[in-house]
């Protein structure tokens, strides 16, 4: 791998990450193997940071671990708890000390930032789950109990305090914290796009297995009345309800559409060009929400496929006069091969990807809830693509085969804790909730409770 920590290409990328975080450009340089310097314009003041190339060049999860009691050392911890310190087995005390012309930090905060954000840990891994995904349970963060901690944001919070002490006149950027909701459109309609045989099978299954007699009559009715728009009685047609909730809380919902079929069973049964989908996209756009891409099941190792699906989405939107400046999305089943999938998104000219969360556990796969520029650690260069980390998918919390917390109080508490953590570090709580996961009143109530939690309602949008 060309881009071993530390090198100049990583420094330029990290300068960008720090500039987005603090609102100022600091230069990062290093002349010795164990120390790097942070400096600001012509100021003679410097912040020295130690470098740990042994830990932060590891393309696996075998790093030592300890914690640091920031408060005990006289610094503020953003989450009021000792900070996880991956890569170190012991830390010197004091961890941060004043030196002539500045400060010295005896922990490799920037190495940790590189290791977490670049996802070096999951490059070329072979112990994958049944969908060939790198699982949370394989990660260093899960093994050491800090997956629900935005460890990079917490450490950059410490660095921010040191910067503020080193350059007291510098006004650091105030973070705009909040939440983003997105919806993978795996199934826009329960019955609308099924073949006649599929409808017949569904009717038999509804009657015999599910004892759902309403479904038996609804299925053919909806199927033959979904030619130009989704049927209002279709259980998966929750789009207006979702947009109503978002608008009530000042949020923009992003809907990611599947535009290809690489697995007959796991991909969607609709085509983006279908008149009912075009009408849906129109509605989404007209109401000021966002349309994005949800690349098909087997596209994650196939850049040409992702590119073709992105072009298909853009073409369909162009035909409908739908213009957006931002085109983002998320991989179906959160399938991701690093860095293949990331490069494919970049090459397809997409603005951001929001796949990087785990299916099996919620939390901070990239150690952050801030969006950041993608870095290709094999090529050793920053990409145009932005990474928007996914913090929670609804089924990760609720489904029995994942965390199994159901749709009651325990689930709500988990979502609230995550959202609170994101707000505390000035980040963004990115939540995925499928449009087809609002079958019960309890699911709808849970979703509304999560969205409204610590969210300021917009006074002029309360008609839903
Ligand atoms: Zn999906």
Task: Give residue-wise pLDDT tens across range 24-78.
Answer: 999 999 976 789 999 999 999 999 999 999 999 999 999 999 999 999 999 999 9
Question: What Rg do the C-alpha atoms of the chain give, in angstroms?
Answer: 24
Residues 355 and 438 grouped into a single domain: yes
Gap from CA of 88 to ligand 1 centroid (Å): 38
Res. 213 pLDDT band, cuts 50 70 90: confident
Range of the domain at 197: 191-225
Residues 247 and 209 grouped into a single domain: no
Gap from CA of 332 to ligand 1 centroid (Å): 4
Residues 104 and 210 grouped into a single domain: no
Residues 215 and 95 grouped into a single domain: no
Gap from CA of 297 to ligand 1 centroid (Å): 8
Within-domain flag for 120? yes
Q: Is the pLDDT of residue 297 over 50?
A: yes
Residues 286 and 214 grouped into a single domain: no
Gap from CA of 192 to ligand 1 centroid (Å): 18
Residues 108 and 219 grouped into a single domain: no
In which element (H, E) is residue 147 found? none
Gap from CA of 294 to ligand 1 centroid (Å): 7
Residues with CB under 5 A from ligand 1 (ion): 184, 186, 332
Within-domain flag for 457? no
Gap from CA of 284 to ligand 1 centroid (Å): 19
Residues 316 and 216 grouped into a single domain: no
State the average pLDDT over residues 370-390. Answer: 97
Residues 95 and 26 grouped into a single domain: yes
Gap from CA of 83 to ligand 1 centroid (Å): 34
Residues 154 and 243 grouped into a single domain: no
pLDDT one-digit tens code per residue, 159-194 = 999 999 999 999 999 888 999 999 999 999 987 787
Within-domain flag for 462? no
Among the listed residues 347, 343, 247, the one whose alpha carbon sits nearest the alpha carbon of residue 287: 247
- HSE-up (13 A, CA, CB side) for residue 423: 12
Gap from CA of 431 to ligand 1 centroid (Å): 14
Gap from CA of 309 to ligand 1 centroid (Å): 14
According to the model, what pLDDT value does residue 233 have?
84
Residues 79 and 202 grouped into a single domain: no
pLDDT one-digit tens code per residue, 309-340 = 999 999 999 999 999 999 999 999 999 999 99
Residues 283 and 352 grouped into a single domain: yes
Last residue in a domain, options 131, 166, 201: 166
How many domains does the chain divide into?
Answer: 3
Residues 289 and 339 grouped into a single domain: yes
Q: What is the C-alpha separation between 205 and 417, in angstroms, rounded?
A: 39
> Which CATH number covers residue 445?
3.20.20.370
Q: Is the pLDDT of residue 461 over 60?
A: no
According to the model, what pLDDT value does residue 389 have?
98
Gap from CA of 158 to ligand 1 centroid (Å): 37
Gap from CA of 224 to ligand 1 centroid (Å): 25
């Amino acid at each position: 791998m060309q881009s071993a920590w530390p090198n100049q290409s990583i420094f330029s990328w990290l300068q960008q990450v720090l500039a987005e975080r603090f609102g100022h450009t600091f230069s990062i340089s290093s002349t010795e193997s164990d120390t790097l310097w942070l400096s600001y314009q012509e100021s003679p003041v410097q912040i020295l940071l130690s470098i740990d190339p042994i830990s932060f060049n590891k393309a696996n999860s075998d790093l030592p671990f300890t914690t640091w009691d920031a408060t005990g050392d006289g610094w503020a911890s953003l989450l009021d708890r000792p900070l996880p310190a991956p890569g170190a087995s012991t830390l010197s005390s004091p961890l941060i000390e004043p030196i002539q012309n500045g400060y010295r930090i005896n922990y490799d905060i920037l190495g940790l930032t590189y290791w977490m954000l670049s996802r070096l840990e999951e490059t070329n891994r072979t112990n994958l789950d049944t969908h060939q995904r790198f699982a949370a349970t394989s990660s260093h963060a899960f093994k050491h109990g800090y997956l629900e901690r935005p460890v990079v944001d917490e450490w950059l919070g410490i660095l921010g305090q040191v910067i503020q002490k080193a350059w007291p006149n510098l006004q650091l950027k105030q973070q705009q914290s909040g939440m983003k909701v997105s919806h993978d459109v795996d199934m826009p309609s329960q019955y609308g796009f099924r073949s006649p045989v599929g409808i017949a099978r569904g009717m038999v299954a509804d009657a015999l297995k599910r004892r759902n007699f309403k479904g038996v009559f609804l299925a053919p009715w909806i199927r033959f009345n979904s030619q130009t728009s989704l049927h209002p009685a279709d259980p998966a047609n929750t789009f207006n309800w979702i947009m109503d909730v978002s608008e009530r809380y000042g949020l923009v919902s992003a809907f990611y559409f599947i535009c290809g079929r690489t697995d007959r069973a796991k991909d969607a049964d609709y085509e983006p060009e279908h008149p009912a989908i075009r009408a849906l996209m129109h509605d989404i756009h007209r109401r000021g929400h966002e349309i994005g891409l949800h690349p098909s099941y087997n596209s994650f190792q196939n850049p040409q496929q992702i590119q073709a699906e992105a072009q298909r989405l853009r073409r369909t939107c162009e035909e409908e006069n739908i213009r957006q400046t931002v085109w983002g999305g998320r991989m179906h089943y959160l399938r991701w091969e690093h860095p293949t999938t990331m490069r494919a998104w970049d090459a397809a000219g997409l603005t951001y990807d929001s796949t990087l969360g785990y299916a099996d556990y919620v939390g901070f796969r990239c150690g952050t809830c801030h969006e950041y520029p993608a870095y290709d650690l094999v090529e050793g260069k920053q990409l145009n693509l932005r990474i928007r980390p996914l913090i929670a998918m609804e089924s990760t919390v609720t489904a029995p085969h994942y965390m199994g917390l159901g749709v009651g109080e325990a689930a709500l508490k988990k979502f609230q804790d995550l959202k609170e953590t994101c707000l505390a570090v000035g980040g963004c709580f990115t939540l995925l909730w499928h449009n087809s996961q609002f079958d019960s009143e309890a699911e709808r109530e849970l979703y509304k409770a999560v969205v409204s939690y610590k969210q300021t309602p917009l006074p002029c949008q309360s008609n839903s």
